[in-house]
Chain A
């Protein structure tokens, strides 16, 4: 009791000092303001680069999509604003929707194949011995590190009509009708080769990611599951899979984005041919815009492509966010 009655005077005076505008106080506040700014300053270079390299082209693309800009206008330096004409033409045309459906199916098939093959290889990595794992890892990283155009060129050679290794092997194995088969000759065979190429290039990322994820699973859980009577399949579905789920979501998300805009492989391999039958949205936008010199039209297709991709991934993002909520 006596202690309490003696103390109060010192308390409030302390508080006032901290509140009041002494020089020490302002300096401290200035320092803390600089401290609060620091994170934004550190973010600035990345933000500036993003705005400059992504934001500006995006704005430019948006503006172009409202203009009638063909070769003639480009040379004469005239700007013809046409409002939503480009969009109207694209959306009412048959081509755009056909290409959109094709793109979505193409993405779906590629993502599913990539995830299944990549997932299996990831699990294989987790079970291999050190040496074999190292060898496989190197192979994966090399496939991943391969420049896209170089890889596509190699695939063109592999699947070349007359001197390609693939046709030669198929011929030797007994499929003599494949001896001079033209892989670029039909829609399906072109997509087949492009799919093999894309899956081959995408698998390493998925495999290494999932392998990394499996290393976070404590061995004790498998032991507990074994004691609880779980067999191989049961401990996979009850222990491994729940741990991998967030990683599966994240990698699928990325693969959807990457494969949807896989312009280089498709365009380099067969230029969207034969007969524009293997054009997916980014290729379609490029061929319409740059190839056929309807720049405004190409820009409109590009904007729509972005919107479709946003739509696809938004739905997906929702699942991921919901999953995270459930986890908590």
Chain B
């Protein structure tokens, strides 16, 4: 059990001037499940490997509990890692794989066997203990890799995209199993993934990285409700948040034919920077369709009384997932065409090729600075 602290940890690969991880600052609480997420090349795996001791730290420090582990070799850090390709020793049986660390630590055989069997029971691997890894399915191998980590009872679990080699269905069920196992064991866990759904569903907190820079660390809820900048707003959520650059008008922003009220401080912050537009983020489920009796449309003031409210969306594709319907359409904003996704009730789905008008619900919009990408509303 331990906390983990990244204190301005920086990694610069030899031969490169740009840091792969740049001044990473995260405090991870004891027993917390933290997910590092970001697009490929964002430095999430590098951060994890720095914590593991597989990657040098060129600046700052990393602490586990009160111990400064910045320059300790991996074996002295008391951590266990689950690799993307599992890294099972191919010539050892499942039991030997799981007990290898204990064997090196000099634990006696009976105790190793007992611990391995306990872990095997938790992971439903008891009948496979004498098999070699290559005689196992992908899901079973993944569980052996987990077992190898559990058996050691380390201070910290590190997981580097452990589900990416599983098929979609198995991934979803294993995701839940890993999360519940972690809750049960209460061991601090750092988990790396590129999949934001995995991040949102598994983590106590999520850290979003981009180009080696930490963008935001927060609970999944806050991450979704209050993304700190345009990148996080576009990255978290599926389908992604719609980001539309709109002109500022008196008391709000002009959204097609409607004026959507925005906090004055936010507008002032934008205009202080010299911006004449702001970028408005609206999640697909926060649009109301005027033609389908959208409630929000009536509350907004219109520019010209005879035209319909909101933005005109020409519907290209309608996806029905059963519970919901999603309209994929294009709108014209400021002379540019933009793609837009709108969630509608699956009971009332517009035709392909139709034109509908949408307005955002006033309380549910996110306003970002067009120049810096920072969040303006709170």
For the complex formed, measure the closest distance between the CB of B152 and the CB atoms of chain A, giving whole angstroms. 8
Chain B interface residue count, CB cutoff 8 Å, equals 23
The residue on A at minimum CB distance from B85 is A220
- Is A14 an interface position by the 8 A CB rule? no
The residue on B at minimum CB distance from A238 is B89
Q: Report the bound CA distance from A221 to B145 in whole Å.
A: 12
Most buried by B among A225, A227, A243, A327: A227
Complex contact A229–B75 (CB within 8 A): yes
From DSSP, what is the main secondary structure of chain B's interface residues? loop
For the complex formed, measure the closest distance between the CB of B332 and the CB atoms of chain A, giving whole angstroms. 50
- Is A223 an interface position by the 8 A CB rule? yes
Q: Report the bound CA distance from A223 to B75 in whole Å.
A: 10
Chain B residues within 8 Å of A218, by CB: 85, 87
Complex contact B85–A226 (CB within 8 A): no
For the complex formed, measure the closest distance between the CB of B64 and the CB atoms of chain A, giving whole angstroms. 13
Annotate A297-326 by CB proximity to B: 1 below 8 A, 0 otherwise: 000000000000000000000000000000
* With A229-B75, A238-B89, A242-B91 as contacts: A223 and B101 at CB distance below 8 Å: no
Complex contact B89–A239 (CB within 8 A): yes
Complex contact B104–A228 (CB within 8 A): yes
The residue on B at minimum CB distance from A220 is B87
Docked complex: B60-115 residues within 8 A CB-CB of A: 73-75, 79-81, 83, 85, 87-92, 100-101, 104-105
- Is A230 an interface position by the 8 A CB rule? yes
Complex contact A224–B90 (CB within 8 A): no
Complex contact B90–A227 (CB within 8 A): no
Give the contacting residue for B100; candidates A220, A238, A242, A243; CB below 8 A: A238
Q: Report the bound CA distance from A225 to B79 in whole Å.
A: 12
- Categorize the interface residue count of chain A: 10 to 19
Q: Report the bound CA distance from A221 to B91 in whole Å.
A: 12
Chain B residues within 8 Å of A234, by CB: 104
Q: Report the bound CA distance from A230 to B92 in whole Å.
A: 15
* With A220-B83, A221-B87, A224-B83 as contacts: A229 and B105 at CB distance below 8 Å: yes
Complex contact A227–B100 (CB within 8 A): no
For the complex formed, measure the closest distance between the CB of A113 and the CB atoms of chain B, giving whole angstroms. 27
Q: Report the bound CA distance from A239 to B100 in whole Å.
A: 12
Annotate B23-63 by CB proximity to A: 1 below 8 A, 0 otherwise: 00000000000000000000000000000111000000000
* With A220-B83, A234-B104, A238-B100 as contacts: A226 and B74 at CB distance below 8 Å: yes
* With A229-B105, A234-B104 as contacts: A224 and B75 at CB distance below 8 Å: no
Residues of B within 8 A of A (CB): 52-54, 73-75, 79-81, 83, 85, 87-92, 100-101, 104-105, 148, 152
Known: A228-B100, A230-B100, A238-B100. 11 other contacts (CB 8 A): A218-B85, A221-B89, A223-B52, A224-B83, A224-B87, A224-B89, A227-B80, A227-B101, A231-B75, A242-B90, A327-B91
Q: Which 10 A-B pairs have the closest CB atoms?
A: A220-B87, A228-B101, A242-B91, A224-B87, A229-B75, A226-B74, A229-B104, A227-B74, A220-B83, A227-B81
Residues of A within 8 A of B (CB): 218, 220-221, 223-231, 234, 238-239, 242-243, 327
